[in-house]
Amino acid sequence: MIKVAMTSVYVKDVGKAHAFYTEVLGFETRNHLDMGDGTPFVTVGAAGAQRDLELLLEPGDSTVARTYTTALRNAGLPCIVLSVDDVRGEYERLTGLGVQFAQEPHQEGPVLTTVLDDTVGNLVQLIQVG
């Protein structure tokens, strides 16, 4: 069986992204390494769950990364979709922490969704199925 082990998001600032994804969204740090040339290798994951699935906070300072993230953002597309048990509750909690949202919670068929700004160049979609 083939499974997803890691996916990545390009970020403008790995340190700022790490703080946002852990301190605000509630992920836990899985890896925080210096690759030897000052390049960070930082992964996060769902706290206490899915040990075999990580999100790599990829330095987005290359021309390709900037072009990709700018195109996604200009199109209003999220770079990643994360699931939550309660979209409205997370929207309220995160709004209280100062998180900016590009889209308020709304129903799309059987899915309740909202889109937030991760402060490091990306839109992130939160979904609640059912």
Domains and CATH numbers, the chain: 6-129 (3.10.180.10)
* Residue 39: predicted pLDDT: 84
Question: Strand ranges (DSSP E) for the chain?
Answer: 6-11, 28-34, 40-45, 54-59, 80-83, 101-108, 111-117, 123-129
Contacting residues for 9 by C-beta, under 8 A, at least 6 apart = 17, 55, 56, 57, 58, 79, 80, 118, 122
Per-residue pLDDT, 117: 97
Q: What is the mean pLDDT of each run of 10 residues along the chain (130 residues)?
A: 94 97 97 87 92 94 94 96 97 98 96 97 95
pTM over 0.95: no
86 CB neighbour count, 10 Å cutoff: 13
Predicted local confidence at residue 128, as pLDDT: 97
